[in-house]
Structures are given as C-alpha cells and as structure tokens.
Structure 1
Amino acid sequence: MQQHVRGMYDLRQELIANGVLVQEGSGYRFTQDYPFSSPSTAAAVVLGRSANGRIEWKDAKGRTLKELQEAEAGR
C-alpha cells in the first residue's frame, strides 16, 4: 500500500498511531468516529489497498452501500 497509495498509507499510519484505528484479528476496528471525504477513502485506509467503498462497505444484513443508496434513490 505504501508505494501505491501514499496519502492513504500515511493517514492509516496516523490513525493507528493516534489509537483511532486498532488491529483486531486480521483486520482493523475504529475506536471512535472519524470522518472521511469518501467511502472509498475510508475503505482503502481500513483494507490497506485501493477499494471501491460503495461495494466494500456492507451493513449487518450484507447489503452494500451501493445497494442501500440505489434503494433510497428509488423511493
């Protein structure tokens, strides 16, 4: 990640250093709310790779953010 997405890598390291993001098992967990400019930036920071946040983020029922947004737009 460090070579490919430098800004996200730096942000991830900063969040870890400040205790906002902590390792839990093979993944990471937020210890507090943290605003991101986009769902994809948030996903990339957590996953450690480029990511499409609209398909990576899922609710407890397994629905993607994209599905939820499309359902909301259809109302």
Structure 2
Amino acid sequence: MTSVSKGGGLSAENLAQQARIREKARESAAQDNARKHNADAERIAADRRADNARRSAKAQGVGRKVDIKA
C-alpha cells in the first residue's frame, strides 16, 4: 500500500490560506496608506489655518506699532 505524503504542495487548502494571508497584507497596507494620508491632510490643514490666522492678524494690524497722539 502506498502512502500519500502531506507536503506543502498546491492543495486547495494551502491556496486558500495563502490567499487569506495576501488579503490581510493588502488590508494592512491600505490602512497604513490611509493613516499616512490622514496625517498629511491634518498637517496641511493646520498649515492652512496658521496661514489664514497670520493673514487675518496682518489685515487687522495686529503687531504693528501705533503711535498714539494725544
């Protein structure tokens, strides 16, 4: 009687497991990319808010020396 060895061949179970591993890796990479994108977007928004605040302050004359003549 011949025995069938259970090696790491291309069984349906092994292929399914490899597909699950690849899918988890894809999801993880997508989450990392989303995290980086969100951090970039937050930094850009903060820079924009700071620029707007500087422009607003400049327009209102904040920080200028004003001579008060009585």
- TM-score bracket, normalised by the shorter chain, equals under 0.3
Greater strand share, structure number? 1
Greater helix share, structure number? 2
Structure whose alpha-carbon radius of gyration is higher: 2
